[in-house]
């Protein structure tokens, strides 16, 4: 467990697609993942337990108290999940740190637009 906790410190963000009755995950057969439904359900249960520990236990077994990656639940079909995840990543696939979502250039452009509209 200490090795897992230490390894998780290297993650910036975890995207989690839980299986729910409201938002079921369609299993697509391909060479990238296991499609055994029992296996998928067990992995989902494990991730939900880790997520519950993350949310409710400051002294988590898996995460350091001062160095936890963000966990974001994503829902929808594959394309919708990809679009949602893209909101958290830059063009290089790196996590966009909170507060760095709008670049100074974008902020300057927004100010110009506001002035143009008299705001």
* In the chain, domain spans: 2-116
Residue 98 reports pLDDT greater than 70: no
pLDDT at 45: 93
Q: What is the CA radius of gyration of the chain?
A: 19
* pTM score of the predicted model: 0.66
- Contact predicate 63/1, CB 8 Å: no
Residue 52 reports pLDDT greater than 80: yes
Task: Phi first, then psi: give them for residue 89, nearest 5 degrees.
Answer: -125, 145
Spell out the alpha helix ranges (H) of 1-119. Answer: 2-8, 37-56, 78-86, 104-116
> Rounded CA gap, 74 and 116, in Å?
37
Residue 103 reports pLDDT greater than 80: no
pLDDT digits (tens, 9 = 90+) for 59-90: 887 888 778 888 889 988 888 889 989 888 88
| b/e map 45-66, b = 16+ CB within 10 Å | eebeebbeebeeeeebebbeee
């Amino acid at each position: 467990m200490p090795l897992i906790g230490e390894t998780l410190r290297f993650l910036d963000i975890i995207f989690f697609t839980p299986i729910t009755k409201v938002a079921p995950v369609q299993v697509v057969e391909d060479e990238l993942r296991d499609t055994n439904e029992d296996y998928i359900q067990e992995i989902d249960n494990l991730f939900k337990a880790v997520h519950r520990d993350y949310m409710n236990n400051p002294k988590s077994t898996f995460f350091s108290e001062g160095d936890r990656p963000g966990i974001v639940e994503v829902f929808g079909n594959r394309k919708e999940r990809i679009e949602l995840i893209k909101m958290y990543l830059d063009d290089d696939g790196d996590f966009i740190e909170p507060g760095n979502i709008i670049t100074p250039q974008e902020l300057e452009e927004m100010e110009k637009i506001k002035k143009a509209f008299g705001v």
